[in-house]
Structure 1
Amino acid sequence: MAERSTAPETVRVMVVDDHAIVRRGLRAYLETVPDLRLVSEAADGQEAVDLLNERHVVGDPMPHVVLMDLQMPRLDGIEATRSILASYPDVKVVVLTSFSEAERVHAALSAGAAGYVLKDAEPEEVATAVRAAVKGEVHLDAAVARLLARRMASPQVGVTSLTARERDILVLVGQGLSNREIADRLVISERTARTHVSNVLSKLQLSSRTQAALLAIREGLVSPPG
């Protein structure tokens, strides 16, 4: 549902959570997964930002994916996600939280999160979300995906307001194409493709490409993955 890329053989992961027992549990689990490697831990969003800045300054490899809690002291997960992606756009953030309220999901995806997993999920789902993120895909907890689908079922997000070109853009977003891939497909500039995508999101009152892709699937414009 988002930009695709080639996944590395070993995915570097940072864990950000203010509960030491959660960090310990994730550390123990990641040690059992051959293609995932924990490279850093932080107890809140501000520490995560500081640690990433330090790695950047000294030239240490950056994590591919940050597993981010939402409710933390000093700097919460939403603001930390915005800050990290503003400085390091190649780093992916996957939210791992206990909260499934629509407002929190909406805020996380708007901030640029590449996944949203609930802490009661099976451990394997965390690994799936991390792998999806590095491939440019978005993994949503099943309950979160249903929540977004219900939220988008309101009349104001119908596709009838789109122009023919904007409808084409929505289809391509639903197929998981990046702005560059959309530009190549439609023989337009990447800037024009980005503008079209922004217009589509604005007209449909959506906050992310993920929501646009889900809407395209719900409207039958593209087939569901798998």
Structure 2
Amino acid sequence: MIRVLVVDDHLVVRRGLRQLLADAGDIDVVGDAADAATAVQQARARLASGGGGLDVVLLDIALPGRDGLDVLRQLKAEHPRLAVLMLSTYPDRQFAVRCLRAGAAGYLNKTADPDELTAALRKAAAGGVYLTASAAEALAVSLHELRDRPGHEVLSQREHQVFRLLAQGQSVGQIAQALSLSSNTVSTYRARILEKTGTRNDVELALYAVRQRIVTV
């Protein structure tokens, strides 16, 4: 049996995934979590001696507080051999390459059909990397078009996280509280983001994000 931990902040999604994967026959959802802290705690417990084991973490990117990319990096740092399959509503071109570079075993959109999801979990559990056609294309583009990239594509993971929140209209103080950072640190990230994207203020940054389809209106 492939032992899976499902991480998503929506209860209906976690329950739906449990039911869907139960029908696969060879996949056992051994736990679920609604946030980053619980996900890391459960993974540690399952992988500890006598913890029952864990093969794949099915991880949503959009989590409260810390996003899935942060959790992915922590899980891979603590458990390098643990397969982490990312699940998201965001387009492949926006996050797939970031996830794969951070060590993900694949990137699936939540619109994927059940057969694709189970195939991805099986490949991840076997030590492989599952790539959809669009994710593979995004990866190829990232490898061959290193020059002249849009400014948001050269942001660090944390800068990209702050960028999205700024573009959604959140203030420096709100972002600092959400990410457990100081306001000075967030202001430093904001200055770097403005420089890299070639924008002068939060309004221009929000318009840039809409043009680049990072956020929708």
Query: TM-score when scaled to structure 1?
Result: 0.60
State the distance in 1 between where 2:78 and 2:146 align: 37
State the distance in 2 between where 1:107 and 1:46 align: 21
Instruction: Note the alpha carbon deviations across 1:44-90, whole angstroms, 9 max, x for none.
Output: 22210011223345621221000000011122111111111111222
Residue among 37, 41, 44 paired with 2:35: 44
3-state SS in 1 of match to 2:61: coil
Higher relative contact order (CA 8 A, sep 6+): 1
Residue among 141, 152, 171 paired with 1:150: 141
Residues 150 and 110 (structure 1 numbering): CA distance in 2 closer, same or farther, change over 3 Å?
A: closer
How big is the alpha-carbon RMSD for the aligned residues of Structure 1 and Structure 2? 1.8
Unpaired stretches in structure 1, ≥5 consecutive residues: 1-9, 157-226
Which residue is equivalent to 1:182? none
State the distance in 1 between where 2:81 and 2:144 align: 32
State the distance in 1 between where 2:70 and 2:39 align: 11
The answer to whether 1:87 aligns with 2:85 is no
State the distance in 2 between where 1:147 and 1:108 align: 12
Identity rate, percent: 38
Which residue is equivalent to 2:126? 135
Counterparts of 1:1-226 in structure 2 under 5 Å? Answer: 10-57=1-48, 59-154=50-145
Unpaired stretches in structure 2, ≥5 consecutive residues: 148-217
Residues 155 and 103 (structure 1 numbering): CA distance in 2 closer, same or farther, change over 3 Å?
A: closer
Code of the residue aligned with 2:106 in structure 1: it is G
Instruction: Note the alpha carbon deviations across 1:106-134, whole angstroms, 9 max, x for none.
Output: 22112210111111111111111111112
Structure 1 residue 103: Cα displacement: 4.3
Instruction: Note the alpha carbon deviations across 1:131-167, whole angstroms, 9 max, x for none.
Output: 11122211122222222233334376xxxxxxxxxxx
- Contact 1:118/1:141 (8 A) holds in 2: no
State the distance in 1 between where 2:63 and 2:102 align: 16
Code of the residue aligned with 1:35 in structure 2: it is D
